[in-house]
Chains A and B, each alone.
Chain A
């Protein structure tokens, strides 16, 4: 059974800092891995999707890497801003029905 872990559960950093959010998964037979952002009372916004054959994806200040064999992914946020404060969720797809298995998320707070 696939399990996704995100540690720590919460993180507080000063504005401008570069930071790395970690995600690990137990079953390396994944189709893809996705990073989402969730704001309080809002839905999820897809940030980056890395296919199983890819090593990384970039979008603006965000870079996500995938090491499928070791069951790890990282989300790198460059030059963090207070507007980046949110919960970041990692999720993987391991079945053909596109069911996502989520981690519990990392709540990020960027202090001005």
Chain B
């Protein structure tokens, strides 16, 4: 049973380009969370999704960032017109959605570097 899979592991973009980060949750998991880890900072919550629904996007910047979790396929975090400040490690976590005392399983992250 594969864990949470994120790809690519490393992504390099020039300023103004688009970045697409993918997350395949653990088998059977229908809840996905995205977190961002900036250099010298802790992980910060971005968005919480269930299949075809955004449940909580309170941590996501209002502009340039979007996320989806379609009925089929991985969850996608999309960053348009990237800037240097978007350089960070982006982690995805998944769960069954059983409640607040369920452990989350994290992927290995995507390291985004904006030149």
Contacts and interface: CB of A to CB of B under 8 A. Distances in A.
A85 B59 CA distance: 31
Interface string B29-69: 00101010000111111001000000110010000000000
Interface string B92-115: 010100011111111111000000
B4 A32 contact: no
A46 B3 CA distance: 13
A46 B56 contact: no
Interface string A74-108: 00000000000000010101001111111111000
Interface stretch (A14-22, A37-45, A59-67): A37-45
A98 B42 contact: no
Contacts of A49: 101, 103
A42 B104 CA distance: 15
A86 B45 CA distance: 22
Contacts of B43: 44, 89, 91, 100, 102
Given A43-B107, A43-B109, A103 B42 contact: yes
Interface of A: 4, 31-32, 34, 36, 41-46, 49, 51, 89, 91, 93, 96-105
